[in-house]
Amino acid sequence: MVRRREFLKATTGATAAALSASAAEDNPVRVGIIGNGNRGTSLLGRVLRIDWAHVTALCDVRPEASAKSQDLLQTAGRPKAETYTGSPEAYKRMLDRKDLDVVIIATPWDLHTPMALDAMRAGKAVATEVPAAQTVEDCWALLETRDKTGSPCMMLENWSFRRDNLAVLNMIRLGLLGDIVHCHCAHSHDCVLHTPWYFDRKGNPTWFGGKLIDRNCDQYPTHSLGPVLSWMDIHCGDAFDNIITVATRSLGINHMFAEVLGKDSAPARRRYAQGDIVTSLIRTKRGNTIVLNNDMQLPRPYDNRWMIQGTDGVYSEERNSIYLWRRSPQAHEWEAFPPYQDRYEHAWWKPMADPKNGKDQLAAGHGGTDPLMIYKFLEAVRNRTPLPLSLEDGLLMSVVVPLSGQSIAGNAKAIDFPDFTRGAWKTNKPYFALDRKA
């Protein structure tokens, strides 16, 4: 059997049956990665931690990017993968391979949907980076193609798998916060000079930065909403009803470039459609509310500002604190959250408590969330069990992008959410990250 240290390294704290070496060889999952840039190579590193995951193909329009990924394979002692490069259509040749079970898509946003559609039609399981789609029509196309082909498809929203968020989920399911009524969440991350996110050091826009010139919306809502869906039983007894969105004027990018490159520089004089801070109010079918912020263009430290509030208490990620009515020792005073995280640790994360086995995992891939997410996805594909996150949930998070833009353009008009579950949210039971004690 696999030694304990090797097993924990492979599973990243996931709960799974121990696998023999022969079983790993008899039932491998064969993986191809489209997009071998920063994010693609990071995800490749997570795949390489799993003995039974075999990387058979790599694809990127830039040959040098795929070459770096090949170096990672060599360093890990893995066989060389077939490379597809030099053309935007190269990935289609990769999809023709018979020795390919899973395709991981880590490309610019506009390519996520067409690549995922082609991969599902080729019979491959798909894991796509966030957001899964950019338009309402593309969301429906992904759902309908999944249903027609039967190919599994999941959006890789890693913050759903965070250690603290899963502990909070356990607490909510155990009733410690009472009935949930409200949540606040945000993606707060100064990315203007955080190269190469929006711009290079000369102010030239990346594909990401180009979106800020062309449109005004919540460009990046999925990290904010990832844990919120399970906290609030969205698609499992409740659903998003409508969204109202407003945006501030756009000052931050011009100001930053005026200070760094000079007020007469082209980046400082360029017009940006994107407002500095976008605020959305989401109402659910049951009458609960969510305040959602996108805050990525003004000087600030990073945080997500999660706050989930119920009839018996409130959790604040920003404060790293919790208050439970009739449980907290001091009335109306915050308690530190870490002792609660330890007490309500999710089963997926419990093996991390052993520093001999978990130390390297907590430092890897967004604090260990990426290895856990990739393992749980590939494990589901391998065992032909339901994916850890449903496509319907991924599409709901993604559709905030176009709907928020429509609301802003309509002067804070309320926009209805499509129902990707086709009514099943009324009877669906909670499914994500079920823990035996919860």
Residues 60-102 pLDDT 10s: 999 999 999 999 999 999 999 999 999 999 999 999 999 999 9
pLDDT at residue 49, as a whole number: 93
Q: Which CATH class is domain 4-159?
A: alpha beta
Question: Could you identify the residue written with the tokens 């990315």?
Answer: 191
Question: What's the rounded Cα separation, in Å, for the pair 378 and 28?
Answer: 10
Question: Could you identify the residue written with the tokens 């520089």?
Answer: 265
Nearest 10 degrees: Cα torsion 317, 321, 325, 329? 170
Res 322 pLDDT > 60: yes
Res 436 pLDDT > 70: yes
Mention every residue, 6+ apart, whose C-beta is less than 8 A from residue 198.
191, 192, 205, 206, 208, 209, 212, 253
Judge whether 325 and 313 are in contact, CB under 8 Å.
yes
pLDDT at residue 25, as a whole number: 62
Q: Dmax of the chain from CA atoms?
A: 66
Mention every residue, 6+ apart, whose C-beta is less than 8 A from residue 319.
334, 337
Considering 25-39, 135-149, 184-198, 358-372, the range whose residues carry the highest mean pLDDT is: 135-149
Residues 128-173 pLDDT 10s: 999 999 999 999 999 999 999 999 999 999 999 999 999 999 999 9
How confident is the model over 423-438, as a mean pLDDT?
A: 93
Residue 215: what are its φ and ψ, rounded to 5°? -150, 160
Q: Between 229 and 201, whose confidence is greater?
A: 229
How confident is the model over 112-135, as a mean pLDDT?
A: 98
- The first and second tokens of residue 408, run together, are 């802003």
Question: What's the rounded Cα separation, in Å, for the pair 292 and 407?
Answer: 14
pLDDT at residue 195, as a whole number: 75
Q: Where are the domains of the chain?
A: 4-159, 160-349+388-426
How confident is the model over 234-239, as a mean pLDDT?
A: 98
How confident is the model over 297-311, as a mean pLDDT?
A: 96
How confident is the model over 54-60, as a mean pLDDT?
A: 98
Please give the CATH topology (third level) of the domain spanning 160-349+388-426.
Dihydrodipicolinate Reductase; domain 2 (3.30.360)
